[in-house]
Amino acid sequence: MIKEAERQFQSSMKSQDMVITHLELAKVYMKRDQALKTIETYQKGLESHPFEVHLYTGISRAYEIVNDPMNSNKLCKVVLNFDNTNVEAIATLASYHFYTNQPEIALRFYRRLIQCGVNNSELWNNVGLC
Q: Over the stretch 116-125, which tens digit does the pLDDT of each residue have?
A: 999 999 999 9
Give the mean model confidence (pLDDT) for residues 58-72. Answer: 94
Distance CA 45, CA 42 (A): 5
Q: Which of 2, 4, 71 is nearest to 42 (CA)?
A: 71
CATH topology of domain 1-83: 1.25.40
Would you state the pLDDT for residue 34? 93
Q: Does residue 1 carry a pLDDT above 90?
A: no
84-106 confidence digits (pLDDT tens): 999 999 999 999 999 999 999 99
Would you state the pLDDT for residue 72? 95
Distance CA 57, CA 84 (A): 13
* Phi/psi at 17 (5° precision): -80, 110
The structural domains of the chain, with segments of one domain joined by +, span 1-83, 84-130
Q: Is 120 in a helix, a strand, or coil?
A: coil
What DSSP state is assigned to residue 116?
A: T
Long-range contacts of 79-86 (CB under 8 A, 24+ apart): 79/53, 82/51, 82/53, 82/56, 83/53, 85/116, 86/53, 86/57
19-58 confidence digits (pLDDT tens): 999 999 999 999 999 999 999 999 999 999 999 999 999 9
pTM assigned to the model: 0.90
